[in-house]
Structure 1
């Protein structure tokens, strides 16, 4: 009887914890406060339409997946990264506009840390590959030549690089979404749309 009670209590706790989140990635939560802070920062107006929230949440999940991948690669332990974060923190503290104990301070610091990680891993996984591998770019051009006709590779190289980067990113995101379990709490997202 005690095991049953503990199991029921645990499942209610887990369900309650999930209700506070808009999504989880491999059990790591994305809280509704964090998500709405980012959403409002990047969208004007007071109201949020469900379709916009859902689309932005998927973009935000992709961002978080990239950050998770960067952490698994150990990029968060890189000395240059740690120095960059420390310098940003010192600059933020020097402004004296926001207290270190403030929830907004934590959101700002977390945003900076994650954005720097996402930038660093994107450079490795996408940008450098597209910029430095002429053979892959030419192969991509040949596979999609009809898109670029009548221009030659040299005439549209910039567009080819952009398109190739987009393909690399889509493939990367697909791989990450297969690797990590992503759960979206549709009920909470719908509630946020009503706000």
Structure 2
């Protein structure tokens, strides 16, 4: 049963209320201010936020959040190495005097790092390690997709095969995550962030 919805938020139209959510991923809210902070940080040359651009980026961000939810469900956030790394980063971050003036931004940066490390760790387990020293899997993938690689020798395109196989694994993983975790997008709140 697919649990990926577009829902209209119940709040009233008007100025952006930064407490509103643009999405809910596995019952964890994606706040409008968090999303806009990430969006603008990754689009420094673009001050216009069209609804189309925001929707496209939100879909990518939801995929990221789904991976983080999966990492947490696997207990990767309880790993002692992970906890130690996050503590070290937090200490370094707190020592940066110019960052300490803006507690909200500091929280965004720390959360982004925490979730980024979780996403990296779970991707390593679910995707990248699947091709390490596993010629049999790659040769099977090559055989099953022979038409895509017509006329190309396995050894010549092994790097491309690894990339393609990992992309297929990731696409399937995202599909499975969207079935496993409930995702709601609040389009009305997203529209409030758009600038013509």
* Class of the TM-score when normalised by the shorter of the 2 chains: 0.7 to 0.9
Q: Could you tell me whether the CA contact under 8 Å between 1:99 and 1:105 is conserved in 2?
A: yes
TM-score, structure 1 as length reference: 0.87
1:87 deviation in Å?
1.2
In the aligned structure 2, how far is the partner of 1:113 from the partner of 1:176?
A: 20
Structure label with greater radius of gyration: 1
RMSD, matched Cα: 1.8
In the aligned structure 2, how far is the partner of 1:80 from the partner of 1:49?
A: 40
Q: Could you tell me whether the CA contact under 8 Å between 2:26 and 2:69 is conserved in 1?
A: no
Find the counterpart in structure 2 of residue 176 from structure 1.
177
In the aligned structure 2, how far is the partner of 1:89 from the partner of 1:25?
A: 25
Find the counterpart in structure 1 of residue 57 from structure 2.
56
Find the counterpart in structure 2 of residue 108 from structure 1.
109
Tell me, which stretches of 5 or more residues in structure 1 are unaligned? 1-13
In the aligned structure 2, how far is the partner of 1:156 from the partner of 1:100?
A: 51
In the aligned structure 1, how far is the partner of 2:28 from the partner of 2:127?
A: 25
In the aligned structure 1, how far is the partner of 2:131 from the partner of 2:68?
A: 20
1:100 deviation in Å?
7.6
Tell me, which stretches of 5 or more residues in structure 2 are unaligned? 1-8, 12-16
Find the counterpart in structure 2 of residue 121 from structure 1.
122
Find the counterpart in structure 1 of residue 29 from structure 2.
29
Find the counterpart in structure 2 of residue 20 from structure 1.
20
In the aligned structure 1, how far is the partner of 2:133 from the partner of 2:115?
A: 25
Find the counterpart in structure 1 of residue 4 from structure 2.
none
Find the counterpart in structure 1 of residue 96 from structure 2.
95
Counting matched residue pairs gives 181
1:187 deviation in Å?
1.0
Highest RCO, 1 vs 2 (Cα 8 Å, sep ≥ 6): 2
In the aligned structure 2, how far is the partner of 1:141 from the partner of 1:154?
A: 10
Question: After TM superposition, what 4+ stretches of structure 1 lie above 6 angstroms from structure 2?
Answer: none
TM-score, structure 2 as length reference: 0.87
SS of residue paired to 1:97: helix
Find the counterpart in structure 2 of residue 79 from structure 1.
80
